[in-house]
Structure 1
């Protein structure tokens, strides 16, 4: 027995959707707004001000962690995002490094691995016993660097998760 299939726009839509999702790897990206994709990771920039500890909790709510910046390429990309997203607002944002276990021993909160790559402003870190958490900060209009900051200070934050 032979049957006829009527091809409608509905059928075409589902065929295209099937190909996009199951044949092209379209589902590999799980970064949806407000998350932004970069090198197999998703990032969310939170400009509402929180302490480092509260920022960590906020990131954990989204199955993520305070950003772990490990390469110059990632650092540069994050800086460009901050400049584009923050416009004229203050540019202070928490990332996941800290020296909470031992003064001067910078570690990523999500893995407890030693911070390898750094982009500290000259003379930073400058207060090792009181400023024990890591953030981006702007010393000039379009320059961003890393610095140590008081963990209970309230600034923005950057969350990261695997894509």
Structure 2
């Protein structure tokens, strides 16, 4: 709900910067991955001028994506730019980006949120989980499923409280 309201408010600002919508800005970390997700910020898209009599069947020329990052990351990004362009174009579903222009300036990185520690399972929950895994013969698989099950149970309900 809040994302819809924020998205509607941000869309006009994004359009001024050449983005058709807020999608690339909000999905940026997922698109470019962990390495560049918080250290590189998309600033704007620069679309080339299209001739007025251009063929409507022909897709538009790819844009230049302007990004901000620090000096060290800029060097890594310039090396990986083809891969990043490919990931962005996969997100859009067509060759929207042709090149990346890197502007060096400090980027405030977001601190990753530390997950809350999970509560311990009650004896009843432990017994129920063990009983549900009785048919699993592979020890490693059973332990992995038990660990996953304990996390799901601990996050899903709060019987201990």
Which structure's CA Rg is the greater one? Answer: 2
Asked if TM exceeds 0.5, the reply is: no
Which has the bigger relative contact order, CA under 8 A and spacing at least 6? 1
Q: Which has the higher strand share?
A: 1
**Structure with the bigger percentage of helix:** 2
Which TM-score applies when normalising by structure 1? 0.24
